[in-house]
Structures are given as structure tokens and as C-alpha cells.
Amino acid sequence: MALVKLISDCREGPCPTLWRTEDGRYIVQGYKVLDAARLAQLGLPENETAVEVTTELLEGYFGAARG
């Protein structure tokens, strides 16, 4: 299944990026959330993880998509 790169925080190398899948879902590449207190607040099940991305990444894409 091919991914479509929608927007990224940098021009080169791995960095926070928003991807779209062929079936209309999104994949967010970001920084691992390692803070135990934040992870506890999320209450994630075993099969999920959390990443942190910049405001600019999401607003840059979704703001452009709306406008």
C-alpha cells in the first residue's frame, strides 16, 4: 500500500511528516512521547503509541486543505 507524503516539517531527512494511505487514513510521523505522566493521561492500549508533532505541521496541511 503506497503512502502519499502530504506535508513535512523539513526539507531533508526524517522529521515530523503527515502521510495519507490509499484507504483514506492518515499516518503521523513525529517525536515519541516518552514522558510517563503524559502517557498515563492518554491511557493508551498496548497496540497504540503516541507521537508529538508541531502545530505548524497540522495547521499547515489542514489550513491549506480548507482554504
Q: Report the chain (67 residues): mean pLDDT per 10 consecutive residues.
A: 88 86 93 95 94 90 72
Output the pLDDT for position 62: 84
Q: What is residue 66's predicted lDDT score, i.e. its pLDDT?
A: 59
pTM check: above 0.75: yes
Output the nine-digit C-alpha cell for 33.
Answer: 512521547
Q: Give CA–CA dist 55/10, Å, rounded.
A: 14
Contact 32, 16 (CB under 8 A): no
**Which pLDDT score, from 0 to 100, does residue 50 have?**
95
Q: What is the pLDDT of residue 13?
A: 76
Are the C-beta atoms of 39 and 62 separated by less than 8 Å?
no
